[in-house]
Structure 1
Amino acid sequence: MTVEKEVEERNPKSVLAVDLGIRWIATTVNSNNPKPKFYDKELRRVKGHYFYLRRSLALKKAYKTIKKIGNKERRVVNDILHKISRAIVNEALENDSMIVLGKLRGIRKNGKGRKFKRKLNNGFPYHRLSQFIEYKARWVGIKVIKISERNTSKTCHRCGHRGLRVGSLFKCPHCGYVCNADYNGAMNMLKRATGYMPIAGAGRALCPGLDTALNPVG
């Protein structure tokens, strides 16, 4: 059954940037508050569990069982994704934010390492999560835009120079800044997205707290 309703789009007063990744399926940063939120370790555990279970069953040639657990995995994963997307939309509602998502093209090309590629090929559900966030947001009148993620994981959000990702950390050899790599990506998404905000006065974006968000202390 399809349900439709007319929704008046809200006037955003801030930006909520959402960075999608492997270590954390989603990391958010709001222009009202530079402190990041991380979602959700449980999804990595579930995907890893079913990956090794399928591989074990394949060795036993238990193909009917593999199909059954595939259906169960999808239900479990969808439940987690609905909870994550609902939490992100609620965060946007609480802060009168528009939501910024990355265009997911090229994510396979950018990933390096066997573990990274195995998780992608195992169906890490970026597109599903993005779709869940988008339709939940639009249902309550929250504006959603999509922007390019190109180089957001490689650029230092503090100085703008190219840096290095080492495990879960981002390190900038130019300014010496070190932070969580997913946080760095989310901050770059936020900086890139602010150009989409409505303009007021002398060309300033309507982003309360943005100067603090883009230049956090410490």
Structure 2
Amino acid sequence: MPVRQATGSVTVVKLTVQVKLLPTPLQAAALEETLRACNQAATWVSQVAFEKDIKRNFPLREHTYGQVKERWGLGAQAAQHVIKKTCDAYRTLKANLKAGNLGKPSSKRYRRAIEKPIAFRPEGAQPYDDRMLSWQHTQRTVSIWTLSGRMKQVAFTAAPEHVARLALYRKGESDLLFRDGMWFLTATCEVPEAELNTSVTQFLGIDLGIVNIATTSDGQIMAGRRLNRGRLRERTLRQKLQKKNTPSAKRRLKRRRRKEARRARDINHKIAKHVVAEAERTGRGIALEDLTGIRARVRLRKPQRATLHSWAFAQLGAFIVYKARKAGVPVVFVDPAYTSQQCCACGHIDKKNRASQARFTCRNCGVVTHADRNASHNIARKGEAVWTAGRESRVPATP
């Protein structure tokens, strides 16, 4: 997820850009050998960290650095990154345990996570810094360290805007990874935010949903029928292949495992781009519902759970936020309580106002409208109230 960070007087958004490497067979073999060695070394370092209960970088380096270089033939920088990667993995595990993401301490999942050391997959990502990796943007090539020596003129491909972003804003480490038979480099870019438009007085309300992915207070509906049909089709096919459980079925499952996620990501990017462009064009801010923890709060029947849990609403919200920051469009999050039950015309709140999924009929004033449009108007109004409250002084005037 994009991260906001202040660098001096300039606020930047940390974004990742992924490029696809196009190595020759000889280059691919060297990359595979290097990645496997790094992850084998990381698994061994993890065992040492677990047995000695040392999870910090410098103390762990004293116990493992020399052996990592000697046993796996890694260079100094690669060995340090292997140890740091291991410490980062344990830090992430600790954060997940503390947040309850792995269940309660009495659960099997929680116990499995703490009773054995972390193991790294042979194709797991490996960090590279500027001493181990250099970019030639105009030639679309990289020079990268491997166990076989420095591998030069490894070609890569990416969209023109991604190449331009890499050339202008790349900073820090890049990760080498192997996925589905393809090689990728994921680089971190620090993109400056545009100056925030603090003069806005109106907000574009966005109601996020499952049937309709996003509905704006301008009345525009981004329907989710196509995406939901695709999800259902993929889920049905996945169940059939899992039940069949033959070698060919397993190969087909492996080929299709990320197809649904890529489709949802592409649609979310397009929706977020459109929403931010509309808000920027009209000089408004964007108001979104704070849907944190919605999966834990909502109770659904079993057939509906898969639909809810495959809904990438957090991803869409994150895309809107970082695109808005790049454009200088303010974003506020509002309490989602009663936005679907309150009439946007008279303010009357009643469960029975929501006659169906798509129909809203106010029991007080008789207004009939689309339910998601009604909710988006309420979200916009709440966004304006939150923005005004944040800008107004709450300190009493000095007598």
Which TM-score applies when normalising by structure 1?
Answer: 0.79
Q: Which residue does 2:317 correspond to in 1?
A: 130
Question: In structure 1, the residue corresponding to 2:206 is in which secondary structure?
Answer: strand
Does the CA-based 8 Å contact 1:14-1:95 persist in structure 2?
no
Matched, 1:185 2:381: no
Q: Which residue does 1:175 correspond to in 2?
A: 365
- Which residue among 196, 206, 209 is the counterpart of 1:21? 209
- Per the alignment, do residues 171 and 64 of structure 1 end up closer, same or farther by CA in structure 2, a change over 3 Å counting? farther
Question: In structure 2, the residue corresponding to 1:16 is in which secondary structure?
Answer: strand
The one-letter amino acid paired with 1:3 is C
Q: Which residue does 2:236 correspond to in 1?
A: 52
- For structure 1, the 5+ residue unaligned runs are 30-34, 200-218
Does the CA-based 8 Å contact 1:20-1:126 persist in structure 2?
yes
Percent of aligned positions that are identical: 32
What displacement does 1:97 show?
1.2
Question: In structure 2, the residue corresponding to 1:25 is in which secondary structure?
Answer: strand
* CA–CA separation in structure 1 for the residues paired with 2:220 and 2:261: 25
Q: Which residue does 1:145 correspond to in 2?
A: 332
Q: Which residue does 1:75 correspond to in 2?
A: 262
* CA–CA separation in structure 2 for the residues paired with 1:78 and 1:6: 23
Q: Which residue does 1:207 correspond to in 2?
A: none
Q: Which residue does 2:106 correspond to in 1?
A: none
Matched, 1:38 2:221: yes
The one-letter amino acid paired with 2:206 is V
What CA deviation, in whole Å up to 9, does each residue of 1:27-55 have, x standing for no partner? Answer: 111xxxxx411113332232222222222
The one-letter amino acid paired with 2:337 is R
What CA deviation, in whole Å up to 9, does each residue of 1:158-199 have, x standing for no partner? Answer: 222212241311222232222111111111111211113448
What CA deviation, in whole Å up to 9, does each residue of 1:10-36 have, x standing for no partner? Answer: 23242111110111111111xxxxx41
- Per the alignment, do residues 136 and 158 of structure 1 end up closer, same or farther by CA in structure 2, a change over 3 Å counting? same
* CA–CA separation in structure 1 for the residues paired with 2:359 and 2:300: 15
* CA–CA separation in structure 2 for the residues paired with 1:176 and 1:74: 41
Question: In structure 2, the residue corresponding to 1:3 is in which secondary structure?
Answer: strand
Q: Which residue does 2:290 correspond to in 1?
A: 103
What displacement does 1:147 show?
1.1
Q: Number of aligned pairs?
A: 193
- Per the alignment, do residues 171 and 56 of structure 1 end up closer, same or farther by CA in structure 2, a change over 3 Å counting? farther
Q: Which moved more, 1:65-74 or 1:20-29?
A: 65-74
Question: In structure 1, the residue corresponding to 2:373 is in which secondary structure?
Answer: helix
- Per the alignment, do residues 76 and 156 of structure 1 end up closer, same or farther by CA in structure 2, a change over 3 Å counting? same
The one-letter amino acid paired with 2:322 is Y
The one-letter amino acid paired with 2:272 is S
The one-letter amino acid paired with 1:18 is I
- For structure 2, the 5+ residue unaligned runs are 1-186, 390-399
Q: CA RMSD in A?
A: 2.1
With a CA cutoff of 8 Å and minimum separation of 6, indicate the structure with the bigger relative contact order: 1
Does the CA-based 8 Å contact 2:276-2:324 persist in structure 1?
yes
Which TM-score applies when normalising by structure 2?
Answer: 0.45
What CA deviation, in whole Å up to 9, does each residue of 1:134-172 have, x standing for no partner? Answer: 111101111111111111112222222212241311222
The one-letter amino acid paired with 2:235 is F
